[in-house]
């Protein structure tokens, strides 16, 4: 834990809290923090500060920061925005470690507010004081009973329920809705941070702290976006290393959502697909609403990770059992029919009118004989047929107590490799809560139950793969040692000419430097030279105009395919030059590229690289043609990547079966394709400062054993970084 993270202890567990601008009206924003501290028993010293009052609610009030007799670890600031900086200077001399700036009037209000907020950021960087906010509802640490908030969420709860889920929200009001819901259903929280405008402390700082926090088992969040994407990746990576699930409700994934996210928090929302890629790479579980966020968080807190996805269902309702079975199957979980010894043992327990197929249906007879529930579950929990066992119970109040206590007994005797999750639609709250308090997750609908089981399995599967991940360098063999030197020489020549992109011929020189196979080709500047190159390559060939002003050759009509003879080549050479000049009279023509015509059976694919805010380099893979243009069937990974990340891109796309071979066609060379993706990932890592975009389109994947060929390529350079290097 670095120095900055250690300072956060003064926020999470402060010995004292000052309230600058405290009010005697305990219903006002500036009065509620003190009221909540008193009501919920904050154990540290409280220092209200306001020259108007001698005391508030029986607590001595001080006229200024200087007159507070003791040290102040955390200072809540609830005064006009324009007065804050001067008071922070005074707070610094008082030894304040963290300032919680509740006041608004900053980036959320426009340009002037942004300038004022930047001064807060500069102050934090210069002095080392941590600034939380501004424009925040405040902070809670339930395990430490630290109460530094004015959120009205505390008005509607009976008591704070401490637990093992840390909550981080980039919204105060909506965060309060999540907080209240969590308290009402019994999801205990370790901490809740509503981050405000994030002038200094931001979402990722709280994520990092909770990764190391022994009180936090699961990290839940409401996220609009971050400014430092790599900081988020590092935090998520550390959470994965420690086996702490991260569950997020992410907004800003649509154009309308991005606009709303910006106006609400001033956050910069990056590419939605890049965020999705990061979450896939780091095992983040995405929730679609508050209830999923709470369901998943509670399940991860209470339930060990399953060893597999085989689900055994016991039900008292045939209809409910069918619904749960269908939802599980739709989500990729296995609900297989029961055979062998388990089936025979169940015959001795399940009534003759019931079913032992899976789901195991006890019918309504369990209402008169609730022991059937325990008897059937004992068999299922003891069997090797299932990884997860789910009893789906009826709402009967008369039998609820016995069922709950029987389940508790079974849970205590549970074998370590089995998971018990209860689905109890409209079950008596008292007994559902009885089970939750004893560590058994209870879902209230079959659909939500299936979704939660899928989340548990997904994270368990991620952790198994994450533990066996291989580094990128482990997959890269025989890469040219001078690859960077060769690539930079090509780029430097282009930049000396003032170019912001490389032409196709130059782009392929970069690919070749990294060992990526390209079609046989050479650049010609005359019909005679073109004819000589074609003879060496062998007909048929392709001829393409090379010009920095005409990167998209098909649109300009400056490409000729399947040229069969020298006569045709000479004729097409002149036609291409003429079309290029007509299309763009001012275009500089560097020559005509003569390239082999790839005739082998092949699958067209696209491999790309782009820079996506806020993360940086992102690599892309998909099938060519309509698959990428219309269906957008692509796999994306954000750097840094492992070999496992990259190799998982190919089977991720929906069109993967085409690469495996369909309708009598032989499989494509997936191994060679995988190597190209690794090589592009290496290129992206080593040239991220100078290459903004790369398109290899198409990359022809030949039949198994025959390799790949890059037929076309285009590289755009990073103008900003190149101009800085020139300066």
Q: Are residues 310 and 458 in the same domain?
A: yes
Q: Where are the alpha helices (DSSP H) in 22-78?
A: 32-40
CA–CA distance, 199 with 122 (Å, rounded to integer): 9
User: Three-state SS for 722?
Assistant: helix
CA–CA distance, 642 with 472 (Å, rounded to integer): 5
Q: Are residues 448 and 327 in the same domain?
A: yes
Judging by DSSP bridges, how do beta strands 442-443 and 422-423 pair with one another? parallel
Does any domain span residue 276? Answer: yes
pLDDT tens track for 365-397: 888 898 999 999 999 999 999 999 999 998 888
Q: Give Cα separations from 298 to 128, 167, 491 (angstroms).
A: 36, 12, 53
pLDDT tens track for 61-94: 999 999 999 899 999 999 999 999 999 999 999 9
Does any domain span residue 493? Answer: no
Q: At what angle do helices 400-412 and 429-437 cross, to 10 degrees?
A: 10
Q: Are residues 163 and 274 in the same domain?
A: yes
DSSP 187-207: --EEEEEE-TT-SSS-HHHHH
Residue 433 burial class via C-beta count within 10 angstroms: exposed 0-12, middle 13-18, buried 19 and up:
middle
Q: Are residues 322 and 460 in the same domain?
A: yes
CB 205 within 8 A of CB 4: yes
Does any domain span residue 408? Answer: yes
Section 478-506 average pLDDT:
93
User: Three-state SS for 564?
Assistant: coil
Where residue 4 falls among pLDDT bands split at 50, 70, 90?
confident
pLDDT tens track for 281-325: 999 999 999 999 999 999 999 999 999 999 999 999 889 999 999
Q: Who has greater pLDDT, 413 or 243? A: 243
Section 201-220 average pLDDT:
97
The CA-CA-CA angle for residues 22, 26, 32, to 5°, reads 70
| CATH number for position 448 | 3.40.50.261
pLDDT tens track for 99-130: 999 999 999 999 999 999 999 999 999 999 99
Section 647-669 average pLDDT:
91
Beta bridge partners of 139: 148, 193
Section 552-559 average pLDDT:
91
CA–CA distance, 452 with 446 (Å, rounded to integer): 10
pLDDT at 268: 26
CB 118 within 8 A of CB 198: no
Q: Are residues 107 and 7 in the same domain?
A: yes
pLDDT above 90 covers a percentage of the chain that reads 85
Nearest Cα neighbor of 400 from 364, 442, 423, 429 is 429
Does any domain span residue 589? Answer: yes
Number of domains in the chain: 5
pLDDT tens track for 146-174: 999 999 999 999 899 999 999 999 999 99
pLDDT tens track for 507-535: 999 999 999 999 999 999 999 999 999 99
Q: Are residues 332 and 430 in the same domain?
A: yes
Does any domain span residue 486? Answer: no
CA–CA distance, 349 with 342 (Å, rounded to integer): 11
Q: Are residues 398 and 542 in the same domain?
A: no
CA–CA distance, 278 with 271 (Å, rounded to integer): 11
| CATH number for position 129 | 3.40.50.720
CA–CA distance, 119 with 113 (Å, rounded to integer): 10
> How is residue 98 written in tokens?
């963290």
Does any domain span residue 144? Answer: no
pTM: 0.92
CB 595 within 8 A of CB 712: no
pLDDT tens track for 589-638: 999 999 999 988 999 999 999 988 899 999 999 998 777 777 788 999 99
Nearest Cα neighbor of 649 from 683, 620, 686 is 620
Beta bridge partners of 168: 193, 221
> How is residue 118 written in tokens?
């930047």
pLDDT at 146: 97
Q: Are residues 108 and 226 in the same domain?
A: no
Q: Are residues 537 and 650 in the same domain?
A: no
pLDDT at 663 over 50: yes
Section 667-686 average pLDDT:
96
Does any domain span residue 612? Answer: yes
| CATH number for position 651 | 3.30.470.20
pLDDT at 629: 73
Q: Are residues 292 and 227 in the same domain?
A: yes
Average pLDDT, the chain: 92
Does any domain span residue 508? Answer: no
pLDDT at 720 over 80: no
The range of the structural domain enclosing residue 127 comes to 1-135
Where residue 723 falls among pLDDT bands split at 50, 70, 90?
low
Of the three residues 302, 337, 371, the one that is the final residue of a domain is 302
> How is residue 180 written in tokens?
């209240």
pLDDT at 270 over 50: no
Judging by DSSP bridges, how do beta strands 541-546 and 591-596 pair with one another? antiparallel
Q: Are residues 171 and 274 in the same domain?
A: yes
Non-local CB neighbours of 239 within 8 Å, separated by 6+ positions: 207, 211, 219, 245, 246, 282
CA–CA distance, 201 with 10 (Å, rounded to integer): 13
Of the three residues 109, 135, 161, the one that is the final residue of a domain is 135
Where residue 265 falls among pLDDT bands split at 50, 70, 90?
very low
pLDDT at 262: 42
Of the three residues 405, 439, 467, the one that is the final residue of a domain is 467
Q: Are residues 224 and 286 in the same domain?
A: yes
Give backbone dihedrals phi and psi of 443, rounded to 5 degrees, phi first.
-105, 150
pLDDT at 415: 73
> How is residue 274 written in tokens?
């890049």
């Amino acid at each position: 834990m670095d120095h900055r993270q250690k300072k956060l202890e003064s926020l999470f567990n402060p010995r004292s809290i000052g309230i600058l601008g405290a009010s005697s009206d305990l219903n006002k924003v500036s009065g509620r923090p003190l009221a909540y501290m008193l009501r919920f028993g904050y154990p540290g010293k409280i220092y209200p500060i306001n020259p108007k009052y001698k005391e508030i609610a029986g607590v001595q009030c001080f006229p200024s920061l200087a007159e507070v007799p003791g040290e102040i670890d955390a200072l809540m600031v609830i005064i006009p925005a324009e007065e804050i900086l001067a008071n922070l200077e005074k707070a610094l001399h008082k030894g304040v470690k963290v300032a919680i700036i509740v006041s608004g009037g900053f980036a959320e209000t426009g340009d002037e507010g942004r300038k004022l907020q930047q001064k807060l950021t500069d102050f934090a960087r210069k002095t080392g004081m941590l600034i939380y906010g501004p424009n925040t509802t405040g902070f809670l640490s339930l395990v430490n009973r630290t109460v530094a908030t004015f959120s009205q969420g505390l008005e509607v709860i009976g008591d704070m329920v401490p637990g093992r889920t840390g909550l981080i929200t980039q919204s105060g009001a909506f965060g309060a809705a999540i907080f209240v819901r969590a308290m009402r259903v019994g999801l205990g929280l370790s901490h809740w941070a509503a981050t405000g405008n994030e002038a200094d402390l931001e979402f990722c700082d709280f994520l990092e702290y909770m990764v190391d926090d022994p009180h936090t088992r699961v990290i839940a969040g409401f996220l609009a976006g971050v400014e430092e994407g790599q900081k988020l990746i590092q935090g998520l990576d550390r959470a994965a290393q420690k086996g702490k699930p991260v569950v997020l409700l992410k907004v800003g994934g649509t154009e309308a959502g991005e606009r709303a996210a910006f106006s609400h928090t001033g956050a910069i929302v990056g590419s939605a697909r890049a965020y999705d890629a990061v979450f896939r790479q780091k095992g983040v579980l995405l929730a679609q609403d508050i209830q999923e966020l709470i369901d998943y968080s509670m399940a991860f807190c209470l339930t060990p990770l399953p060893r597999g996805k085989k689900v055994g269902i016991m039900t008292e309702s045939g209809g409910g059992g069918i619904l749960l079975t269908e939802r599980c199957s739709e989500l990729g979980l296995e609900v297989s029919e029961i055979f062998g010894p388990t089936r025979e043992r169940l015959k001795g327990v399940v009534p003759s009118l019931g079913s032992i197929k899976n789901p195991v249906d006890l019918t309504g007879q369990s209402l008169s004989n609730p022991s059937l529930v325990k008897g059937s579950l004992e068999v299922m929990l003891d069997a090797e047929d299932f990884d997860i066992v789910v009893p789906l119970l009826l709402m009967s109040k008369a039998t609820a107590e016995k069922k709950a206590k029987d389940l508790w007994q079974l849970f205590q005797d549970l074998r370590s490799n089995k998971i018990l999750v209860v689905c109890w639609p409209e079950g008596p709250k008292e007994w559902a809560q009885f089970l939750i308090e004893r560590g058994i997750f209870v879902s209230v609908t079959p659909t939500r139950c299936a979704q939660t089981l899928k989340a548990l399995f997904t994270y368990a599967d991620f952790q198994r793969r994450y533990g066996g991940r291989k580094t990128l360098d482990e997959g890269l063999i025989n890469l040219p040692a001078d690859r960077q030197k060769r690539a930079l020489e090509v780029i430097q020549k282009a930049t000396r000419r003032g170019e912001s992109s490389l032409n196709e011929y130059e782009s392929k020189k970069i690919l070749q430097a990294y060992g990526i196979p390209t079609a046989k080709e050479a650049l010609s500047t005359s019909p005679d030279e073109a004819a000589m190159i074609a003879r060496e390559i062998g007909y048929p060939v392709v001829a393409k105009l090379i010009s920095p002003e005409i990167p998209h050759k098909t649109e300009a009509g400056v490409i000729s395919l399947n040229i069969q003879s020298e006569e045709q080549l000479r004729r097409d050479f002149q036609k291409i030059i003429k079309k290029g000049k007509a299309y763009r009279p001012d275009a500089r023509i560097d020559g005509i590229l003569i390239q082999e015509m790839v005739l082998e059976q092949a699958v067209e694919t696209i491999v790309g690289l782009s820079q996506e805010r806020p993360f940086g380099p992102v690599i892309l893979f998909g099938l060519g043609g309509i698959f990428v243009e219309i269906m957008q069937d692509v796999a994306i990974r954000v750097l840094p990547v492992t070999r496992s990340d990259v190799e998982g891109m190919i089977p991720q796309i929906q069109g993967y079966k085409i690469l495996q071979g369909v309708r009598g066609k032989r499989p494509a060379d997936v191994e060679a394709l995988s190597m190209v993706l690794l090589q592009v990932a290496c290129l992206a890592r080593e040239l991220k400062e100078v290459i903004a975009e790369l398109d290899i389109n198409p990359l022809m994947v030949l039949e198994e054993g025959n390799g790949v060929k890059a037929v076309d390529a285009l590289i755009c350079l990073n103008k900003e970084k190149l101009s800085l290097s020139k300066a």
